[in-house]
Amino acid sequence: MPEISVIVPCYNVEKYLPHCLDSVFHQSFSDFEVICVNDGSTDNCAAILNEYAVKDIRLKVLTQENSGPSVARNNALAHAKGRYVMFLDSDDFIHPQCLEIAHYMAEKHQADLVCFNLTVNAKENFADKKYDAASIDGFITENPFFQAVCGGNRNKILCQACTKLFRKSVIDGIEFIPHIYYEDYPFVFSLLAKKPKTVIIPTQLYFYTTNPNSITHQITSVKHIVDYQAGINAICRIYQTEEFKKEFHIFKLKVIPSLLRHQLQCCKRAAPEAENMLNEALAKELIDFNNRGILSFRGHKLKHYLRYLYLMWKYR
């Protein structure tokens, strides 16, 4: 049984996939399996995956019709045998000591979750830096929600699923919401509600690559707005209870304003012929949140809140 299962959804990333896989198979820590899910790719991904699977038996390839990263990750989780799980996007790569350091921290502190940092569009020499795992200071918490929402730059928990090592037992029963964009943050907040023992390290072990073909760079559509709301609603179902009264209050003040602000940006990026439909979709979401007591002036910049009031009035 491997210690770590590395899960990699793949969809039309032939340009990035070899570098991604090389970064895993060149790890200083070797007790892992890699589960790649070919999510209906129409490029050369299948051939690349088969080539790597022949070279290294630690690679397992699953194939599915194109269903999105959430379904791919959920599918891989059902096959994962590791005590720990890490998610890696197929257009990104990791530091050669990523698994070693994350596993060391998890075992040293008997943690359920290890969070590390990322670098965007890193040059290759970033991966050349050597670390002594024993000398890395970790911030330990047993209620990591507040580090995700209120943490400073050094001890902040990022909402990406890929910047973490999870003890597999702690994510049992949690799934990525199928068929939506922005699937990471509801998954992460669902986990944080379990109050896993968490170690946060500032070390940059994950290297994010800006891919012009990724979801975040697509022309926005109504689906982007609807999917944001689906994620927020999933979190509200967990936190809008007496048990999480304090957390939900902070969620309304800190997280919802940020997510709504991102949706405003989606509306601004929309094609002119689609802008009205996106604004109407956002207005429906705002009206729903307002009726449920989720939307309030506090936490929002005045110009944004006035825009929300205008949209609710216009599309009421």
pTM score:
0.94
Residue 64 is encoded by which pair of tokens? Answer: 């599915």
Q: How many residues does the chain have?
A: 316
For 95-149, give the DSSP string.
-TTHHHHHHHHHHHHT-SEEEEEEEES--GGGGG----GGG---EEES-THHHHH
Query: HSE on the CB side for 76, CA within 13 Å?
Result: 32
- CA-CA distance, 243 to 143, in Å (whole number)? 13
Note the pLDDT of residue 220.
85
Query: 4-208 belongs to which homologous superfamily?
Result: Spore Coat Polysaccharide Biosynthesis Protein SpsA; Chain A (3.90.550.10)
What residues does each domain of the chain span? 4-208, 219-314
What is the separation, in whole angstroms, between the first and last Cα of the chain? 57
Predicted pLDDT of residue 124: 60
The alpha carbon of 148 is separated from its chain's Cα centroid by a whole number of angstroms, namely 12
pLDDT of residue 195: 97
Q: What is the pLDDT of residues 18-53, one digit of tens each?
A: 999 999 999 999 999 999 999 999 999 999 999 999
Residue 155: predicted pLDDT:
86
The rounded distance, in Å, linking the Cα atoms of 35 and 87 is 10
Give the burial class of 292: count Cβ atoms within 10 A of its Cβ; 0-12 exposed, 13-18 middle, 19 or more buried: exposed
Q: Under DSSP, is residue 64 helix (H, G, I), strand (E, B) or coil?
A: strand
With beta carbons less than 8 A apart as the criterion, state whether 84 and 3 touch.
yes
pLDDT at 236: 96
CA distance 165 to 230: 25
pLDDT in tens, the chain (316 residues): 999 999 999 999 999 999 999 999 999 999 999 999 999 999 999 999 999 999 999 999 999 999 999 999 999 999 999 999 999 999 999 999 999 999 999 999 999 999 999 998 766 666 678 999 999 999 999 999 999 998 777 788 999 999 999 999 999 999 999 999 999 999 999 999 999 999 999 999 999 988 766 665 567 899 999 999 999 999 999 999 999 999 999 999 999 999 999 999 999 988 889 999 999 999 999 999 999 999 989 999 999 999 999 999 999 8
Q: What values do phi and psi take at 69, rounded to 5?
A: -65, -30
Cα separation, 104 vs 111, whole angstroms? 10
Characterize the bridge pairing of strands 32-39 and 4-10.
parallel
